[in-house]
A and B are shown apart, each in its own frame.
Chain A
Amino acid sequence: MRHISIRTRLVLSFSIVILVGVLLSAFVGIRLIGNTIIRQAQGKVRLDLNSAWEVYKGQSENIKDVVRLTAVRFFMKDAVSKNDRERLWRELQKIRESESLDILTLIDGEGRVLVRARRPDLFGDPLDNDIIEYVLINEREIVSTQIITEEQLQKEGGDLASQARMKLIPTPKAKPRPEAEETSGMMIIAAAPVYDYHGDLIGILLGGKLLNRDYEIVDRVKDIVYRGETYQGKDIGTATIFQGDLRIATNVLREDGSRAIGTRVSEEVYDQVIGQGAPWIGRAFVVNDWYITAYEPIKSLQGEIIGMLYVGMLEAPYLDLRNRVLFIFLGIALLSVILLSIIAYFTTAKVVRPVRQLLFATEKVADGNLSHRLPIQSRDEMGQLAASFNRMTEELQKATEGYHMLTRTLEDKVREKTEELKATQDQLIQSEKLTSLGKLAAGIAHEINNPLTSILINSHLIAEKLKSDDRFKENLELITDETARCSTIVKGLLEFSRQTQPEKRLTDVNKVVDKTLLLLRSEALAHKVRIHKALDSALPDIMIDGNKIEQVFTNVILNALEAMPTGGDLFISSRILSEDQLVAVSFRDSGCGISQENIGKIFDPFFTTKERTGTGLGLSVSYGIVQQHGGRIEVQSQMEKGTTVTILLPANNTRGQNSKTGR
């Protein structure tokens, strides 16, 4: 799930919620609508069945009325009383035809047939059924639906039996029946008593209409209730009269367009309606289509269930209506989902974009780029987040910069201090060396002075006593000379050890250089050295002990001259190093140079390359003097090229700093 972006997840979950909601409401809606439609249809079917019953009963009443009114006619009383069969037949035949009854039969008081309207030739046979019995007992008219056997039908008239006879068409779902055809018929029969003028019962008149293949009722039901409406070439409304489970009159059509008589009702309906006598209302597959149906039992006079009355509405229009509603509903739902998803997409984009920017920014910060800033696009929480992120990175940047600066400063400081420390350490070592050596030298010099004094005096005294041509005279002179040299060395040593505090005054360094050169001019000439001066006339006066610095310059120049035994050039320059507040005086010779090995030792006391001529103290003393001034001596040298000695003296000494404040 990790690789799915927030945005997709948001849109997905949004869409899922919408989809579920829409589907749920669609499902409930469809169920509600479907049920309502079906229930309404069923309610209508129930009403239609009532209408059908009205038609059926109207027919029954009509037959009963015909029979009752005919029974009370005078010609009946007269003709029965007179046993005028001819007249009866004529009259009854007339009535039967005009009222389109299938049978009209008169029975005498003993239950024998007096006359049959359709068969004048057959009479005198007993006729007994439930209706006649009812009339005999109750002496009043009655109408009912009765099953009439084939035998009876044949008695009533030849063609009635064949009208009723019906081949059973095999019907799926129907309850299996052993016989192949139905021979009896179902008839609406009415009976009424016939009285003579005295009011005595003299006969019973029977009138009936065979329902088999008589489509009057069902078509009237269709016309009245459904007004012949059709749906895709099919009648919406249908009505059927069943004899038992057999369709005997119907306007349900088979595929070939013929009426579906001879087919049977499904076993399910049969069991409920005929078996249990309860009405059936609901979906049913009728012949070849689904219908919303209502069945009710048709009972005989004795209450026996002999058939059913059915009305049905084609289910298809309702289903189509329901489907249409369903599609509309689903369409709306789908449209909503799409629309909401799009809205979600753009809404989440608004949320997700700043999140992405934030993500990008945090990655940058993680990579160390602290200068990246988020654009502030809104004033909502995202905007505030961006602002606070910016503030955070800004602080972080500041802190980091401060940290870096601190580190840099610290590094610089450490480096600077280390260098300073090293320089100080070097100086300390050098000055320590000088101090201890100075003390040593002073001690040695003082101790040596005494024996030297004795040697000097005594050797002189001996020399005084010797004759001028004495052979030891020369030896003695050697002793006195060497003692004098010792004395000179000791003097140098003492000079070195006697490094008194400099007495500083504001002095022009250039003048010190000039003074030094004045003294050494003849020396330089002797060495065939040309001196080139480049003194900066803008040098400030600095606090130095002119005499001591002159001593330093003298030492340096003498060394330079010594380095050029066959002549050369000595360049002397002075300048101010303003950034270091130093005055620099450089002495560059074109002499033999100092070896790398020796360059570290030149300031060491007693270090000399001059063998017998030097004490090795000149530069050491110079070093001490310069150090006492807070300055330093730098030496650069290249073998056979020359040496540059630079004396650096601080230029920021104030007048107040003089010998008294120093140690």
Chain B
Amino acid sequence: MQAKVKILVVDDELPVCRSISSALEAEGRLIDTALGGEEALRKEEENEYDIMLVDLMMPGMSGMDLLKAVKEKRAEVVVVMITGYPTMDTAVQSVKLGAFDYIPKPFTPDELRSIVSRALERRRLYEQKIASAEKPGEEESAEPGLPKNLYCIPDHCWAKVEGDGTVRIGVHDIFLMTIKDISSIDFPYENEKVGQGDACLWVVDARGNLHRMWSPVSGQVISINEELKEDYSQVMRDPYGSGWLLLIKPASLEDDLKNLAPLVLE
């Protein structure tokens, strides 16, 4: 394999940093910790990390500022935000600003590892793209003429506002690429309520990792794509068409859409 994967954990509390570090310790990984935004930036300049795990709520330079600063310099760094529950809006917004994903505290080592494995996949995708086009694809702005009813949490999920006001949601192809294959999907019940940025379903990959999928909008689950239960590969084949996951009746669509980015289909 190539060089070691470099990971930086940023949290203002040392025990948290160490816990995360020890949970992620593995062959071929170099894990650093930083106790603040400034320290993280300094270390980032030295080491050029592949993945950064950043706590959103920190004294001094906030996680969001750090994200912006890092992404400005090196867009290919995969940043995963660590959030507290009250900062869920900010979490979704951070994804719009370029974070790869987020993980709410407290979490188990498995949850952490799942998201980091996806982050590694994402990092690999970047490297391939950098090798081929030298530019991350989703950075391209929406082309004119595209339907305006398509939105997404970048690299994560999409939402399509239907004519009857309901919202069809599905999984982003980048998300699929980071998990590689789907062994099963844990769907919500019909009529269950979901909030924007909350987990609305779980995707189990071939290795048995559980991956949360955030709901792009708040609302109530009207129906799920029952066809998928027989053949999950449908999602992989056509994530934006027959591979849709849920139909949601939105509760506050207008406000939700502000946190979302337009979806650009290639």
Chain A residues proximal to chain B, CB less than 8 Å: 442, 445-446, 449-458, 460-461, 464, 480, 483, 487, 490-491, 494-495, 497-498, 503, 515, 518-519, 545-547, 550, 659
Contacts and interface: CB of A to CB of B under 8 A. Distances in A.
B126 to A, nearest CB: 27
Nearest to A518: B191
Given A456-B107, A457-B19, A547-B193, A445 B220 contact: no
B85 A491 contact: yes
Interface in B91-150: 105-110, 112
A498 B252 contact: no
Contacts of A449: 84-85, 105-106
A460 B109 CA distance: 7
B84 A494 contact: yes
B199 interface: no
Contacts of A455: 106
Most chain A C-beta atoms within 10 Å of own C-beta, residue among B13, B86, B106 = B106
29 contacts: A442-B86, A445-B84, A445-B85, A446-B84, A450-B11, A451-B15, A452-B105, A453-B16, A453-B19, A453-B20, A453-B105, A453-B106, A454-B15, A454-B18, A457-B19, A457-B106, A457-B107, A460-B109, A461-B19, A461-B22, A461-B23, A483-B106, A495-B85, A498-B86, A545-B252, A546-B251, A547-B218, A547-B251, A550-B193
A210 to B, nearest CB: 172
Interface in B8-56: 11, 13, 15-16, 18-20, 22-23
B230 interface: no
A453 B105 CA distance: 6
Q: Do most interface residues of chain A lie in helix, strand or loop, or is the interface mixed?
A: helix
A5 B16 CA distance: 110
Contacts of A547: 193, 218, 251-252
A498 B108 contact: no
B57 interface: yes
B255 interface: yes
Q: Which 6 A-B pairs have the closest CB atoms?
A: A494-B85, A457-B19, A453-B106, A452-B106, A449-B105, A454-B19
B109 A464 contact: yes
A659 B255 CA distance: 10
Most chain A C-beta atoms within 10 Å of own C-beta, residue among B13, B16, B19, B22 = B19
Nearest to A546: B251
B110 A487 contact: no
B190 to A, nearest CB: 9
A498 B85 contact: yes
Contacts of A494: 84-86
A461 B24 CA distance: 10
Interface in B176-222: 191-193, 218, 220
Nearest to B109: A460
B86 A497 contact: yes
Contacts of B193: 519, 547, 550
Contacts of B191: 515, 518-519
A447 to B, nearest CB: 10
Given A546-B251, A547-B218, A547-B251, A457 B86 contact: no
A456 B57 CA distance: 19
A456 B16 CA distance: 10
B106 A487 contact: yes
A446 B86 contact: yes
B221 to A, nearest CB: 11
B34 to A, nearest CB: 16
Contacts of A498: 85-86
Most chain A C-beta atoms within 10 Å of own C-beta, residue among B22, B107, B218 = B107
Nearest to A492: B85
Nearest to A495: B85
Given A450-B15, A461-B23, A456 B106 contact: yes
Given A452-B106, A503-B252, A458 B86 contact: no
Contacts of A456: 106-108
Nearest to A497: B86
A542 B39 CA distance: 53
A659 B23 CA distance: 43
Contacts of A460: 23, 108-110
Contacts of A491: 85
A550 B255 CA distance: 19
Nearest to A498: B86
Contacts of A545: 252
Contacts of B85: 445, 449, 490-491, 494-495, 498
Contacts of B109: 457, 460-461, 464
A445 B11 CA distance: 17
Contacts of B84: 445-446, 449, 494
A243 B193 CA distance: 168
Contact of B13 (A450, A480, A546): A450
Interface string B55-93: 001000000000000000000000000001110000000
A464 B110 CA distance: 10
A408 B227 CA distance: 73
Nearest to A480: B108
Most chain B C-beta atoms within 10 Å of own C-beta, residue among A452, A491, A547 = A547
A455 B106 CA distance: 9
A553 B106 CA distance: 29
A498 B15 CA distance: 27
Contacts of A480: 108
A274 B86 CA distance: 160
Contacts of A497: 86
A586 B50 CA distance: 57
A454 B220 contact: no
Contacts of A451: 15
Most chain A C-beta atoms within 10 Å of own C-beta, residue among B15, B108, B218, B251 = B108
A414 to B, nearest CB: 43
B23 A457 contact: yes
A457 B110 CA distance: 9
A545 B250 CA distance: 12
Contact of A458 (B13, B19, B57, B192): B19
B71 to A, nearest CB: 25
Given A453-B20, A457-B22, 13 more contacts: A442-B86, A450-B13, A450-B105, A453-B106, A454-B19, A456-B106, A457-B20, A457-B112, A503-B251, A519-B191, A547-B193, A547-B218, A550-B193
Nearest to B57: A446
A184 B191 CA distance: 178
A637 B128 CA distance: 68
Most chain B C-beta atoms within 10 Å of own C-beta, residue among A442, A464, A519, A550 = A519
A389 B112 CA distance: 98
Given A456-B106, A515-B220, A450 B16 contact: yes
